[in-house]
């Protein structure tokens, strides 16, 4: 489910006014656009979710790179 669909579902179920803005927050101009967009429509920001990546793998078998990284940190 993408962010727009999730916001729409939340609005329908909870009667909320959630919105969704996609941007690369590592780019300062995109970050400035987010701030400007929120400021135009709202007086505050209640929740922000940064999702850097989506990974697909078998839920019963953790991905090897994740386990390798964990083992190196331990």
Q: What is the pLDDT of residues 4-63, one digit of tens each?
A: 677 677 767 777 777 777 788 788 888 888 888 888 888 887 777 766 665 666 666 666
Question: DSSP of 9-45, one letter per residue?
Answer: HHHHHH----------TTSHHHHHHHHHHHHHH-S--
- In eight-state DSSP terms, residue 57 is -
Token couple for 56:
């697909």
pLDDT at residue number 45: 75
CA geometry: angle 31, 36, 42, nearest 5 deg:
120
Using a cut of 0.75, tell me whether the model's pTM lies above it: no
Q: Average per-residue pLDDT in the chain? A: 73
């Amino acid at each position: 489910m993408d962010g727009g669909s999730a916001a729409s579902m939340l609005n329908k179920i909870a009667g909320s006014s959630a919105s969704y803005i996609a941007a690369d927050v590592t780019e300062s101009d995109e970050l400035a656009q987010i701030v400007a967009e929120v400021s135009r429509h709202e007086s505050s920001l209640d929740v922000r979710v940064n999702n850097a990546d989506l990974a697909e793998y078998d839920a019963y078998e953790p991905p090897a790179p994740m386990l390798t990284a964990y083992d190196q940190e331990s």
